[in-house]
Amino acid sequence: DVKVTQSSRYLVKRTGEKVFLECVQDMDHENMFWYRQDPGLGLRLIYFSYDVKMKEKGDIPEGYSVSREKKERFSLILESASTNQTSMYLCASSLSPTVYGYTFGSGTRLTVV
Amino acid sequence: GENVEQHPSTLSVQEGDSAVIKCTYSDSASNYFPWYKQELGKRPQLIIDIRSNVGEKKDQRIAVTLNKTAKHFSLHITETQPEDSAVYFCAASTPSGTYKYIFGTGTRLKVLA
């Protein structure tokens, strides 16, 4: 079974802090994604990466950046956390999204106070 | 821009009845349509998918239909059971070559025993 592991299940951070959310997958997938999930808004794409050191903006990249130094790890960075970034963050990976779909991590529920 | 609309947002059915969730996509070049099920507190999981060269696909009690002309696709669950209670998300691939999805806003299905 493909495993996508997010480092923290719950996280509480203060406004203005720099926050790192880590995601690791163990199946050599090229494609990795960060989504945020909010009630009534579904899953919205923040950033994705289709190769090491490659990244592309999704639909809501403002206030976020990403890092992909190794194939298995995709990090989401909140440069200066704000209360409107309180959300559930989901990482996903895929070998070929239109053949195998995504495998999601368990999510990190981030609260910014 | 690219958009996926999903209806209804909530759906309650009696155990044993059928449930139908509908999605509409905007980009006629989308060619892959997965459905994800998210149980409370758990990660979204792929339950069925369909490609644009197929009109219908079944897997036991679940089926998906696609109408490319109308840009509609639907999830059908027959003989619903309490364990079908979850949030269901539809998605459409974007044909940009980078394999990201646009997700619908989700449907909370409650199966009443």
Q: What is the pLDDT of residues B30-79, one digit of tens each?
A: 889 999 999 998 999 999 999 988 899 999 999 999 999 999 999 999 99
CB pairs under 8 A between A and B: 56
How confident is residue B96, by pLDDT bands cut at 50, 70 and 90?
low
d(CA A3, CA B3): 29
Whether residue B105 and residue A40 make contact (CB cut-off 8 A), yes or no, is yes
Residues 6+ apart with CB under 8 A from A52: A68, A69, A70, A71
Q: In angstroms, what CA-CA distances link A7 with A20, A46, A67, A112?
A: 10, 18, 15, 17
d(CA B100, CA A45): 8
Question: Looking at the DSSP assignment, which residues form a beta bridge with residue B92?
Answer: B102
Q: In Å, how far is A70's CA from the nearest CA of chain B?
A: 19
Q: In Å, how far is A102's CA from the nearest CA of chain B?
A: 7
How confident is residue A2, by pLDDT bands cut at 50, 70 and 90?
low
Handedness of CA B11, B15, B18, B23 (dihedral sign): positive
Instruction: Give chain A positions within 8 Å (CB) of B104.
Output: 42
Whether residue A44 and residue B93 make contact (CB cut-off 8 A), yes or no, is no
pLDDT at A27 over 90: no
pLDDT at A113 over 70: yes
Whether residue A43 and residue B9 make contact (CB cut-off 8 A), yes or no, is no
Q: Give the residue from B40, B43, B53, B54 with the most A CB atoms within 10 Å of its CB, the best one to mutate.
A: B43
Whether residue B9 and residue A97 make contact (CB cut-off 8 A), yes or no, is no
Per-position b or e across B66-96, b if 16+ CB within 10 A of its CB: beeeebebbbbbeebeeebbbbbbbbbbbbe
Q: In angstroms, what CA-CA distances link A25 with A3, A96, B56?
A: 6, 14, 32
Query: Is B42 an 8 Å CB contact of chain A?
Result: yes
pLDDT at A49 over 90: yes
pLDDT at A1 over 70: no
> pLDDT digit string (tens) for A70-83?
999 999 999 999 99
> Mean pLDDT over residues B67-92, rounded?
96
Instruction: Give chain A positions within 8 Å (CB) of B103.
Output: 35, 42-44
**Nearest residue in B to A44, CA atom:** B103
pLDDT at A59 over 70: yes
**Nearest residue in B to A9, CA atom:** B41
Task: Please report, as a single letter, which amino acid is at residue A109.
Answer: R
pLDDT at A44 over 90: yes
